[in-house]
Structure formats: structure tokens, C-alpha cells
Structure 1
Amino acid sequence: MTCQESAGSADLSKMAYQTVQQEYLQIPIVTRAYTTACVLTTAAVQLELITPFQLYFNPDLILKNYQVWRLITNFLFFGPVGFNFLFNMIFLYRYCRMLEEGSFRGRTADFVFMFLFGGVLMTIFGTFVSLVFLGQAFTIMLVYVWSRRNPNVRMNFFGLLNFQAPFLPWVLMGFSLLLGNSIIVDLLGIAVGHVYYFLEDVFPNQLGGGRWLRTPTILKMLFDTPEEDANYNPLPEERPGGFAWGEGQRLGG
């Protein structure tokens, strides 16, 4: 290989790296941080740098041995690399991003608060049903909130089922059942998602209702920026698809 060919190859590699980096940085911050943490955690387990036993939720180890990281790491591990991992990562990325770029557009602090509220509530509920990893349930929570806020979107699941968005969490639960997985995980995600949706979207609009969920000022100071990027190109929330099991369009569109 000549020096000129080597230089050309290096330039192509640099351009490819810059393109990937640019696309990565276009992902909104919460989605980017959470998805990256999940992928890196799974990669670390796959490479045997850590084990799932160091990550799972265990109240005794948290309270007695002060292993507080387990409160977070149990949301980051989705099992070994395989179909289930890929399936969960796709849904996590898509619906987390569509929420962040849709109903939480310009409200990063509120989105972070939803993460915290959902995580705390899920941890409490998960203790009673002995769940040690809550990442999949957290994904279902995100899917549930998105589906309730986009009730007119028509979905297609693997080309077999056509339905409207609010049925998506239940279809996913049925799919888990067909795969022989426990539906407790799905039910937990749906339950926590509904609690958030009710307190944030339903109860404040009812007669005599009020807003119980208020984002702490410190989160607004940390995450909310006064100006938006004019070059920002969000992922259209009304088009949740791109995959055979999640394509959709709004009714009347």
C-alpha cells in the first residue's frame, strides 16, 4: 500500500468516525446516557469484567453493606447479548427518544424527574415481587407513557397485528407470555407507567384535581437550558416504527 493510499484510508476512517460521533451526539442527552450505560454494562458483563451478581437489586446488601450502586445498576443490565437484549435495546432507545423529543421536548428536567419517580416507585414495588433486575420493566413504563400520550397512532406488530398505540404495552406482555417469560415484569412497568400518567396527565385536569408531581428546582437548574438548538432535528414522535414490530402512523394520516 502506497503512502497516498494509506492517507486516503486514514481520511475515510476519520470521516466515518466523525459521522458516527455526530449521529451519536444528536441523540438527546437522557436517551443517550441511559442507552449507553445499558450497552456498556452488558458489554462489561459479556467481557467478564463484572458479573450480574455485582449488579442485581438486593436490599440487604444495599442497607447492610452500603452497596448503593445496586439501586442504579439493576436498571442497566438486560441479560446476555442475544435476541432479548436486542429487542429491549431497540424499544428502550426508540420510545425513550420519542418521549424526550416529543412530549418532553425542552423539558429535560421533567424527563429526568420521571426517570427518578418511576425508578423509585418501581424499586419499592419490585421489592414485594422479588425482582432483581428492573430494566425491562422500566422500558415498559416508557412505552406505556408514550402510548397513552399518542392514542391515535396505529401500530403493526411483526406484520401480524394492527392496533392503536394504547394497546402496545399489552401486546408486548402477550409476546413475553408466548416466549415463556414472566409477565410480572410487564405488569410492573404498566402499573408504574399508569401511576405516572394518571398523576401527570389525568388527575390535574379533573374537577378538584391538582398537580402532585412537581420537578425539583435543582433539576431544572441542572438540565433545562434557556435556548434550544436551531439545528436540532428530532425523531418524529408520530412515527414510532422503523421496525416490523413497531411501525405506525396517526389515524387519518
Structure 2
Amino acid sequence: MANNTIVDNILAIPPVTRFFTLASVIACLGITTLGVFPQLFCNYFTLKLDFIQTYQAIKYKGYAEIFQTTSWTIIKFYKFLTSMIVPSGIMSPSKYTALMDIYFFYTFSNHLESYGGKFNGNFPDYLWYIILCGTFVQIASLFYNGVINDLPVFPHSCMLACVTYTWSRCNKNARINLMGMVPIKAYYLPLGNLLIELIIRGPSGLVDTAIGIICGYLYLCIQSNTLPIYNLLNGAYGESKTRSNDDARKVGVSSYVDYNRNFGGNTADFIGDSIYDRGYLKAPKFLYKFLGIRTNTSVRTTAFTHQKKEKVWKRDEKREHDPSSGNGTGYSWFGEESAFRGKGNRLGG
């Protein structure tokens, strides 16, 4: 029997990206056909209403009513997950924008999660990335609506901006076409998205994108083990943001750069990594065990991991070549034998 091409293509999508893509499509179908938007979406105002109802039940109702209202409020916490799969465009007159949001989320998420991307096909680590960033997004959206403004915040749009920002930081020198028209480097994609969302959706779109970028930046701070804001300063952690031609030839930079044109020339067009771009955040062991995956599939590193190894290597090299660095234990950097061995002749003999 011939293979089902559609099913095979779906199964070839990395698991986290596949879940979000299919779940978003199903959520959109449910909203447009069954009107289940209130059952899927939550924000500060819906949560506030639920807690007011719970408070009134506790104050004025009997035990049975209190138990029922409290239990239902707790059950509604599932909306923190389902609200992340509801695109903002599904509530607009033009539902086409919802499909575009799903497509862009699939594209950038797939590039991050798949082999050759930032997470190189590591399911637990990418799932941990989504969990952390999703938590940041929900907290930031609740804070914004509760303290700053009552503009509606769509967590799906925030997560799309977060994933896009993370991808752009990993592929700064990639050439892309913004909206298929304006050629820019991926480094400037978040700024382009801010402008586009402001034009299409107004201030609400600008807020969603800004929250997503901030949450993605906080993840990179945790990944690199650096302080937010401080790591943006020039010279922070003893590093300058000025890049030389040698930086463009280091192993591990974006494969989109044509290094042959950089040799001996000006590399002003090359964008190097900032201190908070470095490192790799590994998922906790309990998540690996829960998923039944071996924990040795990745290594946790920070922005300073390479520096520590380099310091140890330089120290060892100095001891190896410094004749005055011997010790009194008889240990030699040249092997198990003594660092100096005489010929056995008497002095003056």
C-alpha cells in the first residue's frame, strides 16, 4: 500500500511544533464553527471575573456551592495552555491573518526545533524552552492588563514574536525578505515585525510583539547566565561589541555568511554574537525522565563556559612551559618521571 504523503509530512514535523500547529488549526476550526472562543481564551479580566465569583460563593453560598465554584475555577486553568494556541487574527474580520500567524509560527519553530537548528532535534530542551517562554508570556500579559493597560493581549501572538526573536538571534546574518518584499538581515526581523504589527493591528499588535521579544530576551539571559539590561551595555562582562575580521572566521557562526569575502576586508556587515546569545539551556532531569529520554543528549553551557575552559588550558600551558613552576611532590608536567634526572656522576668527578 502506498504511503500517505500528508500523514508522513505531518509526522516529519518535530513534536512540539507539530502539536502547536495542529492544535492551532483545530482551535481555529472550533472557534469559527462552534464558537468556543470563551472556552479556550483567558486573560486578566476573565480570571478576575472567575475569582470574583469564587469569592462571592465563599462569602454568601453554602459548602456545596463553594466546592462547585472553586473546582470549576481551578479547572479553568487549562485556558492558560489553550489561549496560547488561539491566533489573534481569528477574532478579526479577516481570518486569513490567523492562518498566516500559524504558518509563521510553524516555520520559525520548525527551524529552531529540527536538526540543524538551535535545539538540533532535542525534544525535551525545546519543550522546556516553550514552557519557560510560555510562562513568561502569561505572567507578562497578566501584569500588563492588571497594571499598565486594558488592551487585549493574545499569548499566541506573543509566543510567535518570542520564537521569531529567538530564531533571529541564532541566524543574525541570514538574508530574508520581510513580507516577501523588503530584503533585510534576520537580525532586524523583530524590529520589522514591530512595525508590521503596529500597522496591521495597531497598539495591541505592538504590545503582543514587544512582550514576546522581552520574554525571548529573558530566556537568552537565563541561557547565558547573564543579567538582563546589564548584558546590553558595551563592555559588559569584559567584552566589547566591536567585532574584528577574525570574529567572522570563528567556527560556529552563522552559515549564511560568505566568509570568503571577509578575508582581509572590512567586516562591518557581519553581525557577531552578543554575550547573551551564547550558551545552551538544558531541560531539567525530571522532564527527561518524564518523557523517557536519555539525559546525555545535550550539555548545559553558559556564556562563560568557553572562558573557563580557556583559562584552565592557558594555566596548564603556562605551567608546562615554565621551568619554575615545579613543585616539591616530585610530580612533573612531562610525565610520571622526575622533571630532572642526573647522570649518576659525583660532583667534581
Query: What TM-score bracket applies, with the shorter chain setting the length?
Result: 0.7 to 0.9
Distance in 1 between residues matched to 2:180 and 2:30, nearest whole Å:
35
Task: List runs of 5+ in structure 2 lacking aligned partners.
Answer: 55-72, 146-151, 239-274, 296-349
Indicate yes or no: 2:109 matched with 1:96.
yes
Deviates more, 1:205-214 or 1:93-102: 205-214
CA drift at 1:59: 2.6
Correspondences of 1:44-193 after superposition (within 5 Å)? 44-48=30-34, 50-57=35-42, 58-60=46-48, 64=54, 65-66=73-74, 67-78=76-87, 79-80=89-90, 82-101=95-114, 102-130=117-145, 131-181=152-202, 182=204, 183-193=206-216
Structure of higher RCO (CA pairs closer than 8 Å, 6+ residues apart): 1
After superposition, the C-alpha distances for 1:54-95 in whole angstroms (9 at most, x for unaligned) are: 222233366542211111111011142722112101110000
Indicate yes or no: 2:230 matched with 1:215.
no
Does structure 2 retain, via aligned residues, the 8 Å contact 1:200–1:213? yes
Correspondences of 1:228-247 after superposition (within 5 Å)? none
Deviates more, 1:113-122 or 1:176-185: 176-185
Task: List runs of 5+ in structure 1 lacking aligned partners.
Answer: 1-13, 228-253
Distance in 2 between residues matched to 1:138 and 1:150, nearest whole Å:
18
CA RMSD of aligned residues (A): 2.9
Partner of 2:23: 37
Partner-residue secondary structure (3-state), 2:177:
strand
Give me the TM-score of the superposition, normalised by structure 2: 0.55
Does structure 1 retain, via aligned residues, the 8 Å contact 2:14–2:121? no
Distance in 1 between residues matched to 2:291 and 2:207, nearest whole Å:
33
Distance in 1 between residues matched to 2:166 and 2:292, nearest whole Å:
21
Partner-residue secondary structure (3-state), 1:170:
helix
Partner-residue secondary structure (3-state), 1:103:
coil
The total of aligned residue pairs comes to 212
After superposition, the C-alpha distances for 1:140-174 in whole angstroms (9 at most, x for unaligned) are: 10000010011111111234322111211111111
Partner of 1:242: none
Partner-residue secondary structure (3-state), 2:154:
coil
C-alpha spacing 1:190/1:123, structure 2 compared with 1 (3 Å)? same
Partner of 1:244: none
Q: One-letter code of the match for 1:218? A: F
Which is higher, the Rg of structure 1 or of structure 2?
A: 2
Give me the TM-score of the superposition, normalised by structure 1: 0.74
Distance in 1 between residues matched to 2:212 and 2:153, nearest whole Å:
14
Partner of 1:237: none
Does structure 2 retain, via aligned residues, the 8 Å contact 1:109–1:222? no
